[in-house]
Structure formats: structure tokens, C-alpha cells
Amino acid sequence: MKHLFTKYLLIAVLMAIAWLPTRAQLVLVREVVASSGGTGVAGGITFDYTIGEPAVTTIAAGSWMLSQGFQQPEILPPLAPGVNPLLDFTLFPNPAATTAKMQFNLLVETTITLMLVNTAGQVVFSERKVYGAGKVIIPTPVDKLAAGIYTVIIKAGGMMYTEKLIVQ
């Protein structure tokens, strides 16, 4: 009986560990070095392509050339209801004197509401904007704010994130 429990516990731990890299694969960070690229449809099949330096053997026929390339897809699978669309929220520099930056990864295009709230509960800065999937950095000017402690509130996909910000 004891060995059976140990076996099930080990399987549960391995499944939990295997889930972590799978979730990390959904983060879309577009960092491609190429001269051009695009998307085309031929025969009901969508092709994503990048024009750049070929790094592998190419196939050429007349003026056409086919080589392996790297083009990030614009379409991600939809998120299940209740799944957090925002990952890796970071606020920097903290303390800030002129500009504070909020950085995070979005799994899908999402409307982001950003608010700065002072210690009296007053909203001193508010911005609402739609951001595409991938890495997002929002620079926010704080040089006109009085020195003190503020709460940064980010709302995305029905979720809310808060972080303290010190303005010098």
C-alpha cells in the first residue's frame, strides 16, 4: 500500500513539473531579425514567411526561392475562460524619479487599464488601451507627481494586479 501511494505521488509531481514548461510556451515575444516578411494563403493553407539571410539549403526555381525561415504566428489559441492573460508583471525602476515602467507578457490581445492611486485613495493617473499578445512595456511619467508611495493597479481580462511604487 505504501509503495502504491509513493508511485501516485511521484506521478503527480512529474505531471505538475511537466505543466510548467507547457504554460511558458504560450508567451509570444516577437524578436525576429529580418528584412521583411508576411503571410499568404495558397490553396486554403496559410503560409507565414520571413525574408532574410538563408541559413540552410535553399530550393530555387527561376525567380522563386524557398528556404527555412522564422515567422511568429499572429494567431494564438484562445484562452479558456478565467485563465490569466497577463504573466510576469514587473514594475521598474522602483523608486522612480521621472518614469516608471510596467512590463508584462500578454497571452492574447487584451484591454489593459493602468491606474496610479495615491495614499488618500485618489486616482492620479489612468490609462486604458488595447495591447496585442506578446511583451508589453508601458512607460508612465511620474516626474509631475508629489514624492511618496503610490499603488499601481493593472486590470486585464477580469484580473487585477497591484504593486507599490515609490516616487522620489
Give pLDDT, residue 11: 82
Give pLDDT, residue 69: 55
Strand-pairing partners, residue 98, are: none
The answer to whether 123 touches 81, Cβ cutoff 8 Å, is: no
Q: Please provide the average confidence, as pLDDT, over all residues in the chain.
A: 78
Q: pLDDT by residue (tens digit) across 93-124?
A: 999 999 999 999 888 888 999 999 999 999 99
Give pLDDT, residue 41: 78
3-state per-residue secondary structure call for the chain: CHHHHHHHHHHHHHHHHHHHHHHHCCCCCCCCCCCEEEEEEECCEEEEEEECCCCCCCEEECCEEECCCCCCCCCCCCCCCCCCCEEEEEEECCCECCEEEEEEEECCCEEEEEEEECCCCCEEEEEEEEECCEEEEEEEECCCCCCEEEEEEEEECCEEEEEEEEEC
15/106: higher pLDDT: 106
pTM: 0.56
- Number of Cβ within a 10 Å radius of residue 127: 11
Q: pLDDT by residue (tens digit) across 132-165?
A: 888 889 999 999 999 999 999 999 988 899 999 9
Which domains, and CATH codes, for the chain? 32-75 (no CATH), 86-167 (2.60.40.3080)
